[in-house]
Each structure stands twice: as structure tokens, then as C-alpha cells.
Amino acid sequence: MNLYDFKDQISSRIIDRGYDYWLEGRVLIESEHESTYWFMAEGSERYEVSITLTGIDIEDSFCDCPYAKGNCKHEVAAYF
């Protein structure tokens, strides 16, 4: 999955919710080191998101929210 095709690989419901979070400015980059980026996402609580990239490829991403069915809206907001 990469920064150009992630929308094709995640459910449209999660994409729509993540896009709304991004538009509303509810996810902000906190720091970056080498190819890993850390974000703070404001939802019903604050959640930490991390994304590791190799070029445009998403090598790994993680959010500490309770959603457990794959990529969450907070991760998607950070992808945008």
C-alpha cells in the first residue's frame, strides 16, 4: 500500500471518516525521525498515530485507538 493507492485498499467508510478528520484539522504531525512520522489525532480522545514510509510506500502504521479491524480513520487522516 502506498500514499497514492491506500484509498483503493481501505473501506470507503473509513476513507470518508479519515478524510473528514483531515479536513477538520484533527490530526497534526508531532515529530519525524528518518522515515517515521508521529501524529496526534483528536477524536473522542487523543490518539497517537505513527507511520513509517519507504519512499511513497507505507511500510507500517499504528494507532493506539481501540479500532481493531485494520486501518482506522486516524491513520487514514494522517495518510492524507
Query: Considering Cα of 44, then 68, then 61, then 71, what sign does the dihedral take?
Result: negative
CA–CA distance, 37 with 69 (Å, rounded to integer): 22
Read off the pTM: 0.93
pLDDT in tens, 34-62: 999 999 999 889 999 999 999 999 999 99
CA–CA distance, 33 with 67 (Å, rounded to integer): 26
